[in-house]
Chains A and B, each alone.
Chain A
Amino acid sequence: MSRSSKFSSGLMAAVLAVCGVTASMGASAADKVTVQLKWLPQAQFAGYYVAQSKGYYKAEGLDVTIKPGGPDISPVQVIAGNGADVVVNWMPDALAAREAGVPLVNIAQVFNQSGLMLTCKKASGVSSPKDFKGKTLGVWYGGNEYPFLNWMAKLGYKPGTDIKILKQGFNVDPLLQNQAACISTMIYNEYWQVVDAGVKESDLVTFFYEKEGVASLEDGLYVMEAKLKDPAFVAKMGKFLKATFKGWNDAVKNPAEAAKIVVANDMSGSASEKVQQRQMENVAKLISNAGTAKIGYLEPAAYERTVKVLLAAGSSPVIKKDPGKAAYSHVVWEASAK
């Protein structure tokens, strides 16, 4: 690789980028779809990667770009800044963003069950939610704090006075090093990181949001409201959903294959097949409609449950008013089922 050729190719790329910007303003990209994930490439998003690498998107005539997320990436921000057509997000964050003036609409709900939980060490003296008082609890921010704050408000605990909150990094170290009594974990991911680190499951206490009655809907697909007025966009996203659901069905059926595909898509070279396969197996449990005609359909009842949970959060609710039926739409899902 000679330096000059590298430089000239870089220069070309820069020129092309500028041209690309101007061109994309002129021509409409008919079948380009950019999807922004909520987190790093992992089995949590296996469906998209499987659909991509098995050519399901291509078969629908789509050119799909999958943008991985990360701790400092807010999918809402990306879609508001026009960096994506569709984002994977949790409902509390999406509804809060809606209230803040970013009109997101749910077009499909892939996960019907919540995988969020608090994992505590028995040694810290926590055996029921009553014991949280005076303890240090780890929480993710970046839109994932809403379910937690909501639960604490329901319990009547004031963050800062009754409990101490840590903004958790991206790993389970605070629990391993006893910096926190409990940390937020997902049943398909961080919980197993704790176990892998050598902590016995019998030494752990877990609290599932689902069981505590404070669960809210997690991974769903959201688009900007204004775009749904465009029938071409709806048709395009319908194709996108169709291929995506196909990918999810495959991933649920064959976790080992899905794990391989996910690892191949991880450009940081840190994911391992063993871990991703286990994650996929646990993710599969959250997609109860996999393999049926109902996959990805947002049940209005489930949506209303989430809204009720979010509105009921005492003094500092996540959302202040019921967004009503405008926050979700079945139009795209119905287009995909045709």
Chain B
Amino acid sequence: MSKPAGLVSQIGHKAFPVLVILLFILVLWYVAAVAMNAPGAIERVLPTDTPWTWQQLVGATMDMQRPVLPTPHQVARDFWSSLVDWPINSPRNLLFHVAVTAESTLWGFVLGTLLGLVLAVLIVHSRTLDRALLPWIVASQSVPVLAIAPIVLVILGSLGFSGVAPKAVIAMYLCFFPVTVAMVQGLRSPQKIETEMLHTYAASKWQALLLLRLPASLPFLFPALRVGIAAGLVGAMVAELPTGAVAGLGARLLTGSYYGNTVQIWSALVMSALLGLTLTLVVAGVEKLVLSRRGGQT
């Protein structure tokens, strides 16, 4: 794409395909909504004793009380009303739930990143830990921590942790793994020639870590952080399910499912996607800032 183009045509070039695909998905969505909601509408909405036309059927599938697949405009309406119709600190406002979920996600992310960094530094500097611990860290990810979230919460509860802490711990468990693995790689990335040079300066292990290994590992760290924060969000949402559906996007999904409010499930889903996107964009922004200040040697 080396041809010089105006900004407008550049955006058009980028946005046009997205719009086409979006339109395609929307049409598909409406068609699917009609098809999937039709049996329920025939059974519960349309009159059973008089004949009905197919126009009535399509009309009935567009705005159902308990749709199998809510139509896009239903979701958009519910999403919008949950943002503007209630004060921001009301449990009926989605932003309130975003704040709850984001809080445990961020705590988990910070703790998980720190844990990952510490583990990686230890593993790089200790042969014993490298040999004994690293395989177990890989194996730890196949423990379905989400499935045992209820048990983890009870254990933590018996130790006196409640509120954000247990949710943050589960988010942390999912966050620390990608960070650990990437940092082990990153801290080992300096070339022999560079480590030798520090050696000739009689630099200590600490100095080698701070001056050479850590800066060299940054390009490895950031992709892992992007993965980590998304994983942390999943962890925080799942951890909200067994905490008694108090608040948060996970709780919204649960109660929406419980009260048969399908539209609420979908709005919560859209919101969680937006939250995930925002979090990853923030991490990407920090990455750009930090790496550009290093002289852009990505």
> What mask results when residues 67 to 84 of chain A are scored 1 for a CB within 8 Å of chain B, else 0?
111111110011011110
The answer to whether the Cβ of A193 comes within 8 Å of any Cβ in the partner chain is yes
Among A40, A268, A271, chain B packs the most CB atoms within 10 A around the CB of A268
Across the interface, which residues of A come within 8 angstroms of B96, CB to CB? Answer: 269
| CB <8 Å contact, A177 and B244 | no
**From B93, B243, B259, contact of A270 by CB (8 A):** B259
B247 within 8 A of A: yes
In the assembled complex, B217 has its CB within 8 A of some CB on chain A = no
Q: Which residues of B contact A275 (CB under 8 A)?
A: 259
- A171 and B264 CA atoms in complex are apart in Å by 14
Residues in chain A near residue B103, CB distance under 8 A: 10
Is there an interface contact between B160 and A20, defined as CB atoms closer than 8 Å? yes
Closest B residue to A66 by beta carbon equals B244
Q: Please, how many angstroms separate the alpha-carbon atoms of A171 and B258 in the complex?
A: 5
B177 at the interface (CB under 8 A from A): no
Within 8 A of B (CB), among A1-40: 10, 13-14, 17, 20-21, 24, 37, 40
Do residues B154 and A68 form an inter-chain contact, with CB atoms below 8 A? no
A74 to B242, CA, bound (A): 9
Q: Check A73–B150 contact: CB distance below 8 A.
A: yes
- Asked whether any CB of chain B lies closer than 8 Å to the CB of A198, the reply is yes
Between A20, A37, A198, A270, the greatest number of chain B beta carbons within 10 A of the residue's beta carbon is seen for A270
Q: Which residues of A contact B68 (CB under 8 A)?
A: 177
Q: Is the CB of A70 within 8 A of B93?
A: no
Q: A88 in the interface, Cβ–Cβ < 8 Å?
A: no
Q: Is the CB of A81 within 8 A of B245?
A: no
Scan residues 246-266 of chain B and give those whose CB is less than 8 A from a CB of chain A: 246-247, 251-252, 254-261, 264
A177 x B40 contact (CB < 8 A): yes
The docked-state distance in angstroms from the alpha carbon of A37 to that of B243 is: 12
> Residue A210 at the B interface, CB < 8 A?
no
Kindly identify which residue among A17, A40, A171, A199 contacts B165, using a CB–CB cutoff of 8 Å.
A17
Q: How far is the CA of A24 from the CA of B65 in the complex (A)?
A: 49
| Inter-subunit contact B260/A70 (CB<8 Å) | no
Contact residues in A for B149 (Cβ distance below 8 Å): 72
Cβ-based interface call for A169 (8 A):
yes
Q: Identify which of A14, A197, A270 contacts B264 (C-beta below 8 A).
A: A270
Interface positions of B from 235 to 286, Cβ below 8 Å from A: 241-247, 251-252, 254-261, 264
| In contact, A81 and B241 (Cβ under 8 angstroms) | no
Q: Are A270 and B256 in contact (CB under 8 A)?
A: yes
B-side contacts of A94, CB under 8 Å: none
A199 contacts which chain B residues (CB < 8 A)? 43-44
A70 interface neighbour in B45, B97, B245, Cβ under 8 Å? B245
CB distance from A117 to the nearest CB of B (A): 18
A301 at the B interface (CB under 8 A): no
Q: Assess A170 versus B257: contact at CB under 8 Å? Given A70-B244, A268-B247, A269-B93.
A: yes
- For the complex formed, measure the closest distance between the CB of B10 and the CB atoms of chain A, giving whole angstroms: 34
A93, chain B: closest CB distance, angstroms: 15
Closest partner residue, chain B, to A267 (CB atom)? B247
Is B161 interfacial (CB-CB < 8 Å)? yes
When C-beta atoms are compared, the residue in chain A nearest to B241 turns out to be: A72
Q: How far is the CA of A172 from the CA of B260 in the complex (A)?
A: 7
The interface size bin for chain B is 35 or more
The answer on a CB contact under 8 Å between B65 and A197 is: yes
Contacts of A169 in B (CB 8 A): 257-258
B91 touches A78 (CB 8 A): no
- Inter-subunit contact A71/B241 (CB<8 Å): yes
Contact A68 B244, CB 8 Å, known A77-B154, A78-B157, A198-B65: yes
Bound-state CA distance A269–B91 (Å) is: 5
Q: A68-B244, A268-B255 are in contact. Are A83 and B44 (CB under 8 A)?
A: no
Q: Are A197 and B66 in contact (CB under 8 A)?
A: yes
In the assembled complex, the CB of A167 is this many whole angstroms from the nearest CB of chain B, namely: 14
Contact among B107, B160, B245, B260 for A10, CB-based, below 8 A: B107
Report the bound CA distance from A135 to B105 in whole Å.
Answer: 43
A299 at the interface (CB under 8 A from B): no
Give every chain B residue within 8 A of A72 (Cβ-Cβ). 149-150, 241-242
Chain A min CB distance to B294 (Å) = 24
Q: List residues of chain B with CB within 8 A of the CB of A304.
A: none
A268 to B173: give the CA distance in the assembly, Å: 25
Chain A residues whose CB sits within 8 angstroms of the CB of B8 once the complex forms: none
A273 at the interface (CB under 8 A from B): no
If A176-B40, A268-B247, A270-B264 touch, whether A40 touches B258 (CB-CB below 8 Å) is yes
Residue in B66, B158, B260 whose CB lies within 8 Å of A81: B158
B245 partner residues in chain A, CB cutoff 8 A: 40, 68, 70, 268
B242 touches A171 (CB 8 A): no
Question: In the complex, A72→B86 CA distance in Å?
Answer: 30
Given contact pairs A72-B150, A268-B245, A269-B90, A24 touches B258 in the complex (Cβ within 8 A)? no
Inter-subunit contact B44/A198 (CB<8 Å): yes
Q: Chain B 144-171, CB within 8 Å of chain A: the 1/0 string?
A: 0000011100110111111111000000
| Nearest CB in chain B: distance from A4 CB, A | 14
A and B contact pairs by CB, cutoff 8 A, 22 listed: A10-B164, A24-B160, A40-B244, A40-B258, A70-B245, A71-B258, A73-B242, A73-B244, A77-B154, A169-B257, A170-B258, A171-B257, A171-B260, A197-B66, A198-B66, A268-B247, A268-B254, A269-B91, A270-B255, A270-B258, A270-B259, A270-B264
> Beyond A170-B258, A173-B66, A269-B91: 11 further Cβ-contacts under 8 Å?
A10-B103, A67-B244, A70-B242, A72-B241, A171-B259, A193-B259, A193-B260, A197-B65, A267-B91, A269-B92, A270-B264
